[in-house]
Structure 1
Amino acid sequence: MKYEWRKKEKSLYLPKDTPTIVEVPELSYLTIKGEGNPNMASFSNAVAALYKVSYTIKMLPKKGVIPDGYYDYTVFPLEGFWDSKIPVTAEQPLNLDQLIYKIMIRQPDFVTTELVSEIKITRLASLATELVDRIQFETIKEGRNLQMMHVGSYADEIHSFNKMDDYCKEMNLKKVGHQHKEIYVSDPKRVAPEKLKTVLRFPIH
C-alpha cells in the first residue's frame, strides 16, 4: 500500500489554522541552500532540481533498481527554512533580495547517503553540474515547534505569524532565533493565491 503523507502524518503537514505545539522528529531530506529573491530563476531552478532527484528516487523500480527497504509512496511537499540578512522589524520591512534559505524535500527512510550519491553520479545528466553539487542529503531534527496552517497568499503570512506571536505571549513561550519554516502543501501553479495552504513553523522553548 502506498505511503500517503497527507493521511499518515497530518500533525506535521496538515495542522489546524490556529497555533499548535508540535514535536518534529529527526527526518531525512534532500536540501539546497541559497539566497536572494525567491521569484528569481535561480530559486525555481533549485526547486526543480530537488523534485528531479525526488522523483528519480521514487521511480527507480521502473528502471529496474529496487533499493533495500523500498516501498511506494507519495513524494513529500517542498519545504524551506527562511531567514534574512537584515532583521525584519516594523521600521525595516522584509526585503526579498536579502533572504537566506534552505529548501528541501523529505525522503522516505530507505533513502541513504550512498543511494543519493549514486543517483547524483549516474542519473542526473539533465541537471547542471552546479545544481547537482549543491544538492545535499541531510538528517534534521527540528524538535519543539509552534506551527499553524496559513490559508492565503504568501504575502499575507504576516497575519498568521502575528497570531503565533500572540500565542507565545499568552503561553509564556519564546521563539528560538529568527529562522522559520514553511511547508508548501498547495501547488501555487494550480491553486488560487487566496486558497493556498502553507504550514508555518518556528522553534520554541
Structure 2
Amino acid sequence: MSPNRRTPHLHAADEPEVVRTPAVHYVSISGAGAPGTDEFYRKKASVAEVARVLDEGGSDPVVEIQYWYPAGSTPVEIADFYSVNAIPSLQYRVLALVPVSTTTDDLAAARARAASPAETDEVELFALPEQDVVQVMHHGPFADEFETLARLGEFARGLGLHRNGPHHELHLDGFTRETPQHALRTILRDPVA
C-alpha cells in the first residue's frame, strides 16, 4: 500500500497511520548498546550540542534515534522490536536535523567549537530519503512503548506492510535521565514495504 499523503517530518497522529516522510539531513553519532546508559546520554548531548552550534545557538534541537540489531540477530517486526533480541545488542544512530546546505567543513568547524564530542565519536552528516513509513505518536514513559508498538505493528500487518529499515524514534521533548516521562511525546516510526 502506498501512502496517499505526505507528512511534515516532526508530525504524527495519535492513531497509527501510513504516510510518506520528506527527505531530511542530520548530524549524527553512532553507538551500540542499551538506551539509557551513560554513553547513550553522552552521545545524545553531543549531537544536540553540535546541532546547536551549526544553528548558531538556536533552539534546542529535536533528538532522534534510529535503532537496529546487528547482522545475525533474530529478525523482528514492528510490534516485537524490543522483545525478541537482547536490548544491549542494539546498534543506534543519534540524530539532530541540520540544513541541507551543511557541508563537512561546516561540521568540522562546529565540532571544534562544541566541547562535548569525544575524540572517538565519529560525528558525521547523514541523510534519509523520502520514504513510506507507519508511525504513531506515543505519549508518556518509554517503558509504555511496547503497547504503542503493538498497536502500530497490528496496523501495519493489517495493511500487509513489514518493517523495512531501522526503527526510528523522534523525541519531541528534550529529556535527561532525570526527566519525568509522563508528559513526553515520542514519534514511533518504521519504514515499511
Same fold (TM over 0.5): yes
Question: Identity, % of aligned pairs?
Answer: 22
User: For 1:24-54, what per-residue CA distance to the aligned partner results, in whole angstroms no more than 9, with x for missing partners?
Assistant: 2221100111101222211111111111211
Residue number among 85, 96, 102 corresponding to 1:105 in the alignment: 96
Shift of 1:171: 2.1
Q: Give the whole-Å Cα distance in 2 for the aligned partners of 1:33 and 1:12.
A: 21
Shift of 1:95: 2.7
Q: Which runs of 4+ in 1 moved over 4 A?
A: none
Q: Give the whole-Å Cα distance in 2 for the aligned partners of 1:94 and 1:156.
A: 18
Q: Give the whole-Å Cα distance in 1 for the aligned partners of 2:18 and 2:171.
A: 19
Q: Give the whole-Å Cα distance in 2 for the aligned partners of 1:191 and 1:116.
A: 29
Q: How does 1:12-91 map to 2 (within 5 A)?
A: 12-59=9-56, 74-85=59-70, 86-87=73-74
Shift of 1:114: 2.3
Equivalent residue pairs, number = 180
Amino acid at match of 2:108: S
8 Å contact from structure 1 (residues 146, 202) kept in 2: yes
8 Å contact from structure 1 (residues 58, 75) kept in 2: no
Flag the 1:94–1:152 CA change in 2: closer, same or farther, 3 A.
farther
8 Å contact from structure 1 (residues 27, 106) kept in 2: yes
- Please state which structure has a larger fraction of its residues in helix: 1
- Residue 188 of structure 1 corresponds to 175
Unaligned runs of 5+ in 1: 1-8, 61-72
Q: Give the whole-Å Cα distance in 1 for the aligned partners of 2:24 and 2:184.
A: 25
Q: How does 1:95-174 map to 2 (within 5 A)?
A: 95-120=86-111, 122-124=112-114, 127-131=117-121, 134-174=122-162
User: For 1:63-105, what per-residue CA distance to the aligned partner results, in whole angstroms no more than 9, with x for missing partners?
Assistant: xxxxxxxxxx644300011123443669x64533111111110
Q: TM-score, normalised by structure 1?
A: 0.76
- Residue 64 of structure 1 corresponds to none
Q: Give the whole-Å Cα distance in 2 for the aligned partners of 1:176 and 1:128.
A: 32
Shift of 1:172: 2.5
Q: Give the whole-Å Cα distance in 2 for the aligned partners of 1:54 and 1:34.
A: 18
Q: TM-score, normalised by structure 2?
A: 0.80
State the secondary structure of the residue aligned to 2:155: helix
- Aligned CA RMSD, in angstroms, stands at 2.6
Shift of 1:201: 0.5
Q: Please tell me whether Structure 1 or Structure 2 has the larger radius of gyration of its CA atoms.
A: 1
